[in-house]
Structure 1
Amino acid sequence: MKIKDNVKKKVLDNPVIKKLIEDLNLNQNQIESGIHLFIKIIEEQKKIKELDFLTKIEIYDENSIIGVSVPNKEINKSLKINKYFWLNDITKIEKNIIFGKPKNKENFKLEKNIFYWEYPTLKKENNRNKLGLWFKQYYTNLQNNKYTKGVYIYGKFGLGKSFFLKALTNYLIEKKKNVIFVNTVDLYEKMIRNLEKNSDVNYEIIQKMKKVDILIIDDIGSEKQNSWFLFSTLYPILENRLQEEKTTCFSSLFSLNELKKYWLKGKEMDLIRVERLIEKIRSLTIPIHLEGKNIREL
């Protein structure tokens, strides 16, 4: 069936098709022979999250191209994430956040999905180098199945605390390590709703948080000061992880001393119990205070 010129033009103007033609360096005859395949690819892009297989273009000869079916990497990636990223229904994270170094220090350009170990525009006193040293040690121990204390990263907004922990989560998924990343507010609200429903789900959440290879609790101290949440949920999880030497990481706006003061402002808070909880966190982690400029402003 002959394809109309206006349809052909629209297909060839599609950014995905433009890039494909450029990457494969297709000549005019090859392009003409593959218009129907390009249309198929454009249609697949609209429902990419539902398809098990996608069309890949290969060069047949100087005058023509062919389409072959290949597994959908997005589907495979989602399956991997669901397998290793436990409790991912509580807090979603961006799948594409990774660690990286600036490609060009002289003409530095910030990319929103990369956690940079160093910024040419930032001084070293922001303590990112300490995070790098911890990660190097963690990586080494990971290869040898050795325990590493986690990090307690604290500091003001916009310094990359959560960003680092999200990149770490994605890194661990790639290494096929079971990981839980939860924002404390999300976790608190989820568990309170489960309580109201008289659900048994909270028990399952607690058990998973005890057993997971690495537990990452983001923005601790942003939740409501609730004695049930702290002492019936958080405390037994951390106690178990300390006994079994399982890596546990946190981010917070507060230092541990400030976190203690914040928690003690809540009703029915007991000084001894709060101090014990703070001591669990202290025993599980190395504190790293991020300082410097708000990265979002760079």
Structure 2
Amino acid sequence: MESLGELLTQMKNTQLKQRSEELTARLFNDPLVWELRDRYPELEQEQLTRGMAKLYQYVKDSRHCANCPGLANCPNDFSGHFTKLTVEQVGGSPQLVDRQVPCPKQLQHERELSVKKRIHSFYVDERALEEGYNEVEIMAKDSLRAPAVGQLFRYIEETKESGLQTKGLYLEGPFGTGKTFLMCYLLHELAKEGYSGAIVYMPEFVEDLKSMLQDSDKLRDTVEMMKQVDLLIFDDIGAENLNPWARDHVMGAILNYRMNRKPTFYTSNYSLNALEKHLSFTSKDGEERHKGQRLMDRIAPFVDVVQVNGTNKRGRA
């Protein structure tokens, strides 16, 4: 059997040599290579010839990036990255050095993944956390809720400037006015600043607590996470079918830990007074006003109420 070297020797015919010379000339005459030579005039032909593989990869990646088909369809060998060439002195002579560098789309993707990792969602549609947010659109979408949006924006800016607040917000308003959406926006914006958060849809959370009674580890981990996250949102509080254990031992324990430590947020169709009446009644023990008041003592003093007005947007695009 012939060796690879023998085969290569046989292939070194005139046609192959001509083809190789054409490719080399085309590469050295590429505008990107000329631009590189202008940037690093110390490079000589010898260094360029030795670095032909690097030059080829650099030009190929650059062409792909100039016609980027999107991160999901990146044609580069290392998806989301491109070849960056620099020149460094090695042994007293300039040498081409190639590095794989993440492109802007890859960096944005990594930032988004980082934000998502900081946010926990319990029973809330993930799309509300993943869609793009536009401040102008949020403010202009419904003029009736503009005061509430302005208050939310101020809270976000104060947190960015001064750090985590001890008081949260209580978004009160009619069904379908975008309260959950606004809370997701707050979570998303502050997650970009490095804060962790969780949003919990109360009706399903309270129902799921029943099954957690059979899984003590899951219950403990869930409660501990809700105690410790920087930003905790109880979405649609007042719509759940409360039982004494969920109210007194789960909600009570979470809020008792968080008050004066970390902000808790709420969305509700109820005013604070109406919520107290709701929390005072359970399907098992009926009305227990003092227990509802005890829980409200851990809610009302630690929130600023935000009235969210507007038209019902449920079911609209």
TM-score, normalized by length of structure 1? 0.65
Aligned to 1:216: 233
Uncovered stretches (5+) of structure 1, i.e. residues with no partner: 1-32, 59-67, 103-115
Percent identity over the alignment is 23
Task: State the Cα distance separating 1:135 from its structure 2 match.
Answer: 3.1
Q: Give the partner amino acid of 2:308.
A: L
**1:53–1:69: 8 Å Cα contact kept in structure 2?**
no
Aligned to 2:115: 81
Aligned to 2:260: 243
State the superposition RMSD in angstroms.
Answer: 3.6
**Secondary structure of the equivalent of 1:223?**
coil
User: Structure 2: how far apart are the matches of 1:194 and 1:234?
Assistant: 14
Task: State the Cα distance separating 1:219 from its structure 2 match.
Answer: 1.0
Q: Give the partner amino acid of 2:170.
A: Y
Aligned to 1:291: 309
User: Structure 2: how far apart are the matches of 1:243 and 1:57?
Assistant: 51
1:245-294 per-residue CA deviation (whole Å, 9 max, x = no partner) reads x1111001211222233331532252101111123211111122222322
Aligned to 2:297: 279
User: Structure 1: how far apart are the matches of 2:131 and 2:226?
Assistant: 24
Of the three residues 111, 123, 130, the one matched with 1:95 is 130
**2:241–2:282: 8 Å Cα contact kept in structure 1?**
no
Task: State the Cα distance separating 1:132 from its structure 2 match.
Answer: 1.4
Matched, 1:53 2:79: yes
Aligned to 2:168: 150
1:150-198 per-residue CA deviation (whole Å, 9 max, x = no partner) reads 11112222211001001111111111111111211342244322213x3
TM-score, normalized by length of structure 2? 0.62
**2:233–2:265: 8 Å Cα contact kept in structure 1?**
yes
Task: State the Cα distance separating 1:229 from its structure 2 match.
Answer: 1.0
**1:118–1:129: 8 Å Cα contact kept in structure 2?**
no
User: Structure 2: how far apart are the matches of 1:53 and 1:137?
Assistant: 39
**2:180–2:235: 8 Å Cα contact kept in structure 1?**
yes
Larger helix share, 1 or 2: 2
Q: 1:162 to 1:88 in 2, by over 3 A?
A: closer
User: Structure 1: how far apart are the matches of 2:145 and 2:80?
Assistant: 44
User: Structure 2: how far apart are the matches of 1:252 and 1:267?
Assistant: 23
Of the three residues 202, 208, 218, the one matched with 1:184 is 202
**1:98–1:171: 8 Å Cα contact kept in structure 2?**
no
Uncovered stretches (5+) of structure 2, i.e. residues with no partner: 1-59, 85-99
Task: State the Cα distance separating 1:45 from its structure 2 match.
Answer: 3.4
User: Structure 2: how far apart are the matches of 1:131 and 1:89?
Assistant: 24
Of the three residues 151, 173, 188, the one matched with 1:133 is 151
